[in-house]
């Protein structure tokens, strides 16, 4: 089953999951509001800064579920990164005019923080943020 918001959410998901953040951001409104574990982000530049470290360390993403209607969609996935072998997450988006205007991310930051702490503790300062 297809819907306007689900179509946008899946196109956006495929783009960032494939490592193409620029393509993904074409589905993000300039004035997007994002609710995420680090806090509330406003604007596409803040959104890019939030997503870029994560997307840059992706090894793979598996889509687990997706559903939506004409205005909202939810996409659940599991990802593996250079830091964390299994990182499940979900994103609920609101779409208007073919672009995501609100995003609400749900994921566990603890495995990323523990992995970064272990890398920094080993003397490797190249641990990306998430």
- Asked if residue 128 is part of any domain, the answer here is no
Q: Is the pLDDT of residue 29 over 90?
A: yes
- Is the predicted pLDDT of residue 78 greater than 80, yes or no? yes
Specify the number of domains making up the chain.
1
- Give domain status of residue 130, yes or no: no
Domain membership flag for residue 84: yes
pLDDT value of residue 41: 96
pLDDT at position 125 over 60: no
**What is the domain extent for residue 114?**
4-121
DSSP letters along 80-104, please? EESS-S-EEEEEEEEEETTEEEEEE
User: Tokens 């959410």 sit at which residue?
Assistant: 9
Question: 25 vs 52, 54, 62, CA distance in Å?
Answer: 11, 14, 20
Residue 65 maps to a domain: yes
Residue 99's CATH number: 3.10.450.50
pTM beyond 0.95: the answer is: no
């Amino acid at each position: 089953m297809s819907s306007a918001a689900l179509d946008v959410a899946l196109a956006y998901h495929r783009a960032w999951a494939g490592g193409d953040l620029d393509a993904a951001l074409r589905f993000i409104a300039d004035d997007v509001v994002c609710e995420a574990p680090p806090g509330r982000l406003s604007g596409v530049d803040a959104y890019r800064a939030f997503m870029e470290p994560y997307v840059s360390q992706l090894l793979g993403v598996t889509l687990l579920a997706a559903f939506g209607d004409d205005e909202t969609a939810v996409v659940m996935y599991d990802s593996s990164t250079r830091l964390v072998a299994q990182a499940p997450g979900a994103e609920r988006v609101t779409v208007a005019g073919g672009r995501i205007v609100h995003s609400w991310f749900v994921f566990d930051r603890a495995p990323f923080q523990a992995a970064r702490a272990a890398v920094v503790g080993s003397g490797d300062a190249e641990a990306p943020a998430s």
